[in-house]
A = this chain, B = another copy of it.
């Protein structure tokens, strides 16, 4: 973990464990520099991370404040898959339907930027939220990058394994989403009537070199999934 990530995590944990309210003022930039004994640009980067994750907001010339969302019971849309998080309020479990090494079809080749004879791990899971079906998820991992996977790892946090055990540097991800109707197979897996509405999400995870290594397709049960997303004007 890099220094700015470490400091960001420390500030986040402090906000969480001290249960600071929406709008609470944090120490100033100068005070944070003294407190954490790091450079100004490290603190600036830590604060940018926290601002973009919706944990703080910064007002130029006025201060740094705690940001809390109004509604509970929503899943963090940006952090519910790969970038798993410690402080979740839900009980998430899963059943593995499939885990094997395959050769990719056209769709997987296009997304993972690989050739037909490059081996790929194919993992298929049903995930549950508080005991109810949340989604069906199929993931394809380039075996060249992820040489070993088993069911135990899949049941834990796979991204923790990739980052900590395999030392894979995950760079970023692209999500694509649309709404549609589910087919009979998905309906059975999600325990819903045929042709029910659903959110279809495809996601590509990249190494920090820009190479895609994980392509995932997830279909959510519309009755048990609602999400939140936090935007920051710092994006502008």
- A contact residues vs B (CB 8 Å cutoff): 2, 5, 22-23, 40-41, 44-45, 48-49, 52-54, 57, 59-60, 65, 67, 69-71, 74, 77-79, 82-83, 111, 169-181, 196-199, 204, 206, 208-210, 220, 222, 225-236
- 29 A-B contact pairs sorted by A residue (CB < 8 Å): A5-B236, A41-B44, A44-B48, A48-B49, A48-B234, A49-B235, A54-B172, A57-B172, A57-B206, A59-B209, A65-B210, A67-B210, A70-B204, A71-B176, A78-B229, A78-B231, A82-B231, A83-B236, A172-B231, A173-B230, A173-B233, A174-B229, A175-B231, A176-B228, A178-B222, A178-B226, A179-B197, A179-B198, A179-B222
The one of B41, B52, B67, B71 that contacts A234, using a Cβ cutoff of 8 Å: B52
Q: Closest 7 CB pairs between A and B?
A: A197-B197, A48-B48, A179-B222, A178-B226, A173-B231, A175-B229, A52-B52
